[in-house]
Structure 1
Amino acid sequence: MFAPLGIHHIAIICSDYQRSRTFYTEVLGLRIIREVYREARDSYKLDLAIGDQYVIELFSFPEPPPRPSRPEACGLRHLAFAVSDVAGAKAALEAKGVAVEPVRVDEFTGRKFTFFADPDGLPLELYEG
C-alpha cells in the first residue's frame, strides 16, 4: 500500500551555484546540512534545512535549460514557505534587497500571502499559517 508520510525534500537546479547558495542560506536563512561537489558531474549538491527539517536539495549542473515560463509552466509552480507573519517576513526580505510583491489575502482560507523569486526566477511564496 502506498501511504506517503510527508514530503522528504524539494530539488532545485540553479544556474549560478554561489549566487543561489548565498540566497538560500544567507537571505532565506536555511541551514546547511551537507555540501558535496560531484566531480564526475561537475555539479554541487547542497542539502538545506529549516530548523531540524531537511527540505531542499540545491543542485548545480553545467548549462541547465531555462524554465519555460513563469509561473504557469508545466512542473513545479512555486515553493511556499510557512511564516507566522507575512508582513514581517516581507519586510525582512526587502531589507536584504529582495523584491517582494504586495501582500494579498487567499480568498478561500483568509490567510495572507505574497510572492518573491530566487536568483533564477523560481517563484517562492510566503504563506501565513
Structure 2
Amino acid sequence: MLPLLRVHHIAIIGSDYARSKQFYTEVLGLRIIREVYREARQSWKLDLALNEQYIIELFSFPKPPQRLSHPEATGLRHLAFAVSDIEATIAHLTAHGVAAEPIRVDELTDRRFTFIEDPDGLPLEFYEE
C-alpha cells in the first residue's frame, strides 16, 4: 500500500486573480499564508489556510483555458467544506452576494448540504456536521 499521509493542498486557477482572492479570503474567510508574484510565469500564487491548516493554492495565469465544471462532470467533482450550521453559512454567503442552491439532505447520512460556485464556476459544497 502507498503510505499516503493526508491531502496536502488543493490547487485552483482563477480567471480573475483579484476576484478569486477576494472570494476565498473575504467571503470564505481563508487566511493568507503567503502571496508571491512569479515574474517568469506572469502568475500569482496565493497560499491559503483554514483553521491554521494549509489547504489551497490559488493561482493566476495569463489566459487560462476554460474547463467544464459541474458537480456531475468527469474529473474533480467539487471541493467540500464542513460547517456546523448550514443556515448561518447560507446567510453569510447571501450577505456577500453569493447564491446557494436549495438545501439538500444526504440520503445516506441525513446530513444537510448545499452548493455554491466560486467566481469561475468551481462547485463548492458546504456540508453540515
Q: 2 CA distance for matches of 1:110 and 1:128?
A: 10
* Deviation of the 1:2 alpha carbon: 1.5
TM-score, scaled relative to structure 2:
0.96
Is the partner of 1:98 in helix, strand or coil?
coil
Letter in 1 for 2:78: H
* Identity of matched residues, %: 71
Corresponding position: 1:67 with 2:62: no
Give unpaired runs (5+ residues) of structure 2: none
SS in 1 for 2:93: helix
Moved over 3 A (4+): none
C-alpha change, 1:69 and 1:80, in structure 2 (3 Å) is closer
Q: Could you tell me how far apart the structure 2 residues matched to 1:16 and 1:110 are?
A: 37
One-letter code aligned to 1:71: P
Q: What pairs with 1:37-116 in structure 2 (closer than 5 Å)? A: 37-116=37-116
- 1:31 matched to 2:44? The reply is no
Q: Quickly say closer, same or farther: Cα 1:99–1:105, change in 2 above 3 A.
A: same
2:114 pairs with 1:117? no
Which residue matches 1:19? 19
1:69 to partner: Cα distance: 4.5
Residues 69, 31 of structure 1: CA spacing in aligned structure 2 closer, same or farther, 3 A cutoff?
A: closer
- 1:87 is displaced (CA, Å) by 1.3
